[in-house]
């Protein structure tokens, strides 16, 4: 029986579809000999070839190329002023992080630079970084605040994230990370700064619709468990989902705290232990692995990937793009690093930038899979199999990038929407 059709439907045919639909027996949810039917912004159906009569419809033949869902980068700090290249050079020359901090380096160096930029300037520099991610196949990304650390500067960062989403064919999930570090004006009063976030920054920016979730750097060098809990309780009162930078340098129980609050994700987690993993496994919290920061900081301790597998905690992979610990505007590089450094299988790395990354952003019913009802955000690759994308870095393998059903980048014609 022929599937139902509409005159405006677009049929993508002759593809190898890596649907990323979970199916224990079929790696990557591969479908050969299927057509992808797009109606408006969504995937209408994935049907065996020929099941839809394409007479009069737009049909696009991709000549056997691979199609996957668009890549989802679920953890970035993409909007910031300045860079910390000089700091890195000093570190390579033997200056310790503590010394650099005393000289005003670290996160607060980026806070100073970000506060100085106008919204327009911040937009212009952030655009260049976003274009790099978009052109390698990213269709959804998370962007955190956390380099403003006062009401006006946090708002400025989040407005830039919002404007990026309006100007470019990409879906942006903004996160409030005002609890990234204590700003200089509160240096001796981190609790008072947490009060400012709970009573002023979070409610006012939430009211303006500028973010979707609240994050915290819960760490011996960040905020304590008690401070993080106060933040999460304030978020709960406004029904805001939470997530956390946790267990990056030590284990102070941040993951259990996030799990207790039904959080969306725990990120970094090199020092996560079995009790924390057991707590996560009771929730749908995603474990987000950030191998770029691990590499750049020359860390030695890898996240407990085997235990995460055993407890069936979904793992995502993200770039953590930021000026201090992961200055890499490439999610494909993060996928490669997750495989080489953390021992993920290539299939796990792919789930980590599609289905599981969608879950970390609370978009699991609409993003990250090629299936009926999901957004038509997908990439036609100059490749035949998913491993090719993770294996060969340094060459752009995007043949066509489709966002919400529209071709936004076409390597053959170099036409289409920006960029």
Q: Which residues bind ligand NIG (CB under 6 A)?
A: 107, 110, 217, 245, 248, 293, 320, 322-326
Distance CA 313, CA 356 (A): 10
Distance CA 131, CA 135 (A): 6
Cβ distance 271 to 247 under 8 Å? yes
Does 35 engage in binding with Fe ion (CB under 5 A)? no
We find the least distance from the C-beta atom of residue 181 to ligand NIG, in angstroms, to be 8
Name the residue among 123, 30, 139 with its Cα closest to residue 81: 123
Q: Of all helices (H) and strands (E), which one includes residue 236?
A: helix 225-237
Q: Kindly tell me which of 325 and 400 has the beta carbon lying closer to ligand NIG.
A: 325
Distance CA 136, CA 410 (A): 12
Range in contact with Fe ion (rule: CB under 5 A) among 36-44, 314-322, 369-377, 407-415: 314-322
Range in contact with Fe ion (rule: CB under 5 A) among 14-22, 65-73, 159-167, 316-324: 316-324
Binding-residue pattern over the window 317 to 356 for Fe ion, x denoting contact by CB under 5 A: ---x------------------------------------
Does 154 engage in binding with Fe ion (CB under 5 A)? no
Q: Which segments are annotated as binding site?
A: 75, 77, 84, 147, 180, 245, 248, 320, 322, 324-325
We find the least distance from the C-beta atom of residue 184 to ligand NIG, in angstroms, to be 15
**Facing residues of 409 across strands?**
401
Instruction: Collapse the DSSP code of 26 into the 3-class scheme (helix H, G, I; strand E, B; otherwise coil) and give the result.
Output: coil
Q: Which segments are annotated as binding site for 4-imidazolone-5-propanoate?
A: 84, 147, 180, 248, 325
The entry of ligand NIG, Fe ion, none near residue 110 (CB within 5 to 8 angstroms by kind) is ligand NIG
Neighbours of 112 (CB within 10 A): 14
Q: DSSP for 148-216? A: --SHHHHHHHHHHHHHHHHHSSSEEEEEEEEETS--GGGTT-HHHHHHHIIIIIHHHHHHTT--SEEEE
- Here the tokens at position 322 are 């930021």
Q: Which segments are annotated as binding site for Zn(2+)?
A: 75, 77, 245, 320
The residue to which tokens 């049909």 are assigned: 59
We find the least distance from the C-beta atom of residue 105 to ligand NIG, in angstroms, to be 9
Residue nearest ligand NIG (C-beta atom): 324
Q: Kindly tell me which of 243 and 401 has the beta carbon lying closer to ligand NIG.
A: 243
We find the least distance from the C-beta atom of residue 295 to Fe ion, in angstroms, to be 14
We find the least distance from the C-beta atom of residue 321 to ligand NIG, in angstroms, to be 9
The entry of Fe ion, ligand NIG, none near residue 139 (CB within 5 to 8 angstroms by kind) is none
We find the least distance from the C-beta atom of residue 202 to ligand NIG, in angstroms, to be 18
Cβ distance 398 to 411 under 8 Å? yes
Instruction: Report the interface residues with Fe ion, using CB under 5 A.
Output: 320
């Amino acid at each position: 029986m022929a599937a139902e059709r509409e005159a405006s439907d677009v049929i993508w045919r002759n593809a190898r579809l890596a649907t990323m639909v979970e199916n224990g027996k079929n790696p990557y949810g591969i479908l050969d000999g299927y057509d992808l039917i797009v109606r408006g912004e969504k995937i209408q159906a994935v049907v065996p070839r020929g099941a839809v009569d394409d007479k009069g419809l737009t049909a696009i033949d991709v000549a056997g190329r691979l199609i996957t869902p668009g890549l989802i980068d679920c953890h970035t700090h993409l909007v910031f002023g300045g860079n910390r290249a000089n700091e890195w050079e000093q570190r390579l020359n033997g200056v310790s992080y503590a010394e650099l901090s005393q000289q005003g380096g670290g996160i607060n160096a980026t806070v100073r630079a970000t506060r100085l930029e106008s919204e327009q300037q911040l937009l212009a520099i952030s655009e260049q970084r976003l274009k790099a991610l978009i052109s390698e196949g990213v269709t959804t990304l998370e962007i955190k605040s956390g380099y403003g650390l006062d009401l006006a500067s946090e708002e400025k960062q989040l407005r830039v994230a919002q404007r990026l989403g309006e100007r470019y064919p990409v879906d942006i999930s903004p996160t409030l990370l005002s609890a990234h570090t204590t700003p200089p004006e509160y240096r001796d009063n981190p609790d008072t700064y947490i009060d400012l976030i709970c009573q002023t920054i979070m409610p006012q920016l939430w009211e303006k619709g500028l973010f979707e979730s609240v994050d915290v750097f819960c760490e011996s060098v960040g905020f304590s468990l008690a401070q993080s809990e106060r933040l999460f309780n304030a978020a709960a009162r406004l029904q805001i989902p939470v997530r956390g930078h946790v267990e990056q340098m030590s284990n102070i129980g941040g993951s259990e705290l996030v799990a207790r609050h039904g959080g969306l994700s725990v990120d970094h987690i090199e020092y996560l232990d079995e009790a924390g993993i057991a707590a996560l496994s009771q929730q749908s919290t995603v474990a987000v692995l950030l191998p770029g920061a691990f590499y750049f900081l020359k860390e030695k301790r890898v996240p407990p990937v085997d235990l995460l597998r055993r407890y069936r905690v979904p793992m995502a992979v993200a770039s953590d793009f930021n000026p201090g610990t992961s200055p890499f505007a490439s999610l494909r590089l993060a996928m490669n690093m997750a495989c080489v450094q953390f021992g993920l299988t290539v299939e796990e790395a792919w789930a980590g930038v599609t289905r599981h990354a969608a879950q970390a952003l609370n978009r699991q019913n609409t993003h990250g899979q090629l299936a009926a009802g999901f957004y038509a955000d997908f990439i036609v690759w100059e490749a035949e199999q998913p491993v090719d994308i993770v294996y060969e870095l340094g060459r752009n393998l995007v043949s066509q990038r489709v966002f919400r059903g529209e071709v936004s980048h076409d390597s053959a014609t170099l036409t289409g929407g920006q960029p």
